Amino acid sequence: MTARATGKRFFEELDRDGDGQVTLEDLEVAMRKRRLPRRYARDLLRRTRSNRFSKSIGWKQFLSLMEQKEATILRAYTTLCLSKSGTLHKNQIVESLKGAGLPANEDNAAAMLRYLNADSEGSISYSHFRSFMLLLPSERLEDDPRNIWFEAATLVAVPPPVEISAGNVLKSALAGGLASALSTSMLHPIDTMKTRVQASTLSFPELIAKLPQIGIQGLYRGSIPAILGQFSSHGLRTGIFEASKLILVRVAPTLPEIQVQSLASFCSTILGTAVRIPCEVLKQRLQAGIFDNVGEAIVGTMQKDGLKGFFRGTGATLCREVPFYVAGMCLYGEAKKAAQHVLSRELEPWETIAVGALSGGLAAVVTTPFDVMKTRMMTAPPGTPVSMQLIVFSILRNEGPLGLFKGAIPRFFWIAPLGAMNFAGYELAKKAMIEAEKETADSLQEKKNMVGSRG
């Protein structure tokens, strides 16, 4: 029987009332029968239906799904210990379980045979295997098929294999660092305007009126430590973020995804920010006009404040950074999922960037009070003792509660593009690196095949 014919037979099995349409209820029954998560039914319908308003799928859409997944499913099937006839008997299943490090015994093999509706000869064919795999979400098809099949047949959960690849973490760090350095260099003038508003009694409109006096050179003061600080800290932060997520999945596999993202953001932000604070102190003192160049700023800070002067405002910085990145990463992740759900497809690059910009901008406005405190502490006259409490009381007494939100407007317009480049740009850069690596590997394989054919 051809693959198309066996696929048609499986479609008819799903179509319980025989009307040529498979509904969500039909898919939920199929998932329940196979002890698969109910959400798989919604995922399959969403990815396969002809339009977002359709409540069922026909044979044409189901055939298209088969054709899309065929190569992946066939590749997964060939990784199993097949017999010479291309089928799986009980002894081959036992060998496959051994190879995966799973409990390899005849009871489990028999359960797996029954699960895929083995024929009377007690073997599994490709059509049985494909019917099962077609019901799985696309991302699960990349997992080890032995784990998926064993878990569904025996109801024994298999923890996902987690490998912390130094190469992947390095790619994440490099992608994050480059995205942040590029966005910082482009948007530094807006950051300078924000710092000058927060460090003085000027309002934003008054500062705009003084721009001709400040000039382009004045707007780019402090750009060198800013770029170096962002590259190192954001690269470290994104690398630690990816590694932390992998570790948390291994240590606590039942932890909800939003909690995994929050904890990973917290850990990565603490460490990444610690690296950037000295650069931030130098940058803000140059922006506020306290020093004229980087060398003078380093020497002056060391002479008047000592080594601890480079870490002025650490408390306020962490109070700003941790909520900002935790809220920003979670908001970005959830907003991206919501957009994908509404559109019923993967986001285009420009849509990913828009989600990143909005997430970053909103998180920036919420954390502006801590940014004001940080700026006042870092730009206080060298040698002057300051604390978060003194700064807060001074602002509330002299400027009122709105004083804590000074610079919120330029901060939003500064952080929104940064959010687009840091959150979304990092992800797009990482994807580009992975795709480039795949293309290189494919090219090398083609060359090997050509050499082999000539030999």
Residues 197-245: pLDDT tens digits? 888 877 888 888 888 888 888 888 888 888 888 787 777 777 777 778 7
**Residue range 101-128: mean pLDDT, rounded:** 76
Structure confidence at residue 179 as a pLDDT band (50, 70, 90): confident
Alpha carbons 144 and 93: distance in angstroms, whole number: 14
Report the SS3 class of residue 230.
helix
- Cα 259-264-265 angle, rounded to 5 deg: 100
**Residue 273 tokens, joined:** 């920010």
Amino acid present at 325: Y
**Residue 38 tokens, joined:** 């109910």
Q: Quick one: pLDDT at residue 271?
A: 77
Structure confidence at residue 455 as a pLDDT band (50, 70, 90): very low
Statement: residue 451 has pLDDT above 70:
no
**Residue range 166-173: mean pLDDT, rounded:** 66
The distance of Cα 83 from the centroid of its chain, to the nearest Å, equals: 41
**Half-sphere exposure (CA, 13 Å, Cβ side) for 68?**
15
C-alpha closest to that of 91 among 113, 63, 118: 113
Alpha carbons 334 and 354: distance in angstroms, whole number: 14
Alpha carbons 161 and 55: distance in angstroms, whole number: 36
User: How many beta carbons lie within 10 A of that of residue 76, not counting itself?
Assistant: 21
Statement: residue 79 has pLDDT above 70:
yes
**Residue 111 tokens, joined:** 């359960």
Residues 151-161: pLDDT tens digits? 777 765 555 54
Statement: residue 170 has pLDDT above 80:
no
Residue 249 class from Cβ within 10 Å (0-12 exposed, 13-18 middle, 19+ buried)?
middle
Q: Quick one: pLDDT at residue 334?
A: 84
Domains of the chain: 3-154 (1.10.238.10), 166-438 (1.50.40.10)
Alpha carbons 392 and 415: distance in angstroms, whole number: 23
Question: At 439, phi and psi to the nearest 5?
Answer: -60, -40
C-alpha closest to that of 284 among 307, 266, 315, 309: 309
Question: At 26, phi and psi to the nearest 5?
Answer: -60, -45
Inter-residue contact 363 to 328 (CB < 8 Å) = yes
Inter-residue contact 273 to 233 (CB < 8 Å) = yes
Alpha carbons 134 and 127: distance in angstroms, whole number: 10
CA distances from 24 to 14, 27, 60, 279, 376 (A): 10, 5, 17, 56, 58
Structure confidence at residue 454 as a pLDDT band (50, 70, 90): very low
According to DSSP, residue 348 is labeled P
Q: Quick one: pLDDT at residue 440?
A: 60
CA distances from 349 to 88, 186, 414, 428 (A): 43, 20, 21, 7
Range of lowest pLDDT (162-171, 180-189, 441-450)? 441-450
Alpha carbons 444 and 440: distance in angstroms, whole number: 6
Higher per-residue pLDDT: 309 or 449:
309
Statement: residue 369 has pLDDT above 80:
yes
Q: Quick one: pLDDT at residue 117?
A: 67
CA distances from 338 to 200, 215, 333 (A): 41, 43, 9
Q: Quick one: pLDDT at residue 429?
A: 60
Statement: residue 439 has pLDDT above 80:
no
Inter-residue contact 403 to 396 (CB < 8 Å) = yes
Q: Quick one: pLDDT at residue 166?
A: 58
Structure confidence at residue 23 as a pLDDT band (50, 70, 90): very high
Residues making up the chain, counted from first to last:
455
Alpha carbons 48 and 63: distance in angstroms, whole number: 10
- Cα 101-107-112 angle, rounded to 5 deg: 75
Q: Above pLDDT 90, what percent of the chain?
A: 3
Inter-residue contact 205 to 150 (CB < 8 Å) = no
**Residue range 73-78: mean pLDDT, rounded:** 83
C-alpha closest to that of 17 among 5, 28, 25: 25
Statement: residue 39 has pLDDT above 50:
yes
Inter-residue contact 248 to 186 (CB < 8 Å) = no
Prediction pTM value? 0.45
**Residue 244 tokens, joined:** 């932390």
- Helices and strands, number each (H, E), in the chain: 20, 2
The distance of Cα 235 from the centroid of its chain, to the nearest Å, equals: 14
Inter-residue contact 81 to 92 (CB < 8 Å) = yes
Residues 311-329: pLDDT tens digits? 888 887 777 777 777 777 7
Residues 249-288: pLDDT tens digits? 667 656 676 677 778 877 777 777 777 788 888 888 888 8
Alpha carbons 2 and 139: distance in angstroms, whole number: 26
Q: Quick one: pLDDT at residue 446?
A: 58
Inter-residue contact 379 to 285 (CB < 8 Å) = yes
Q: Quick one: pLDDT at residue 438?
A: 62
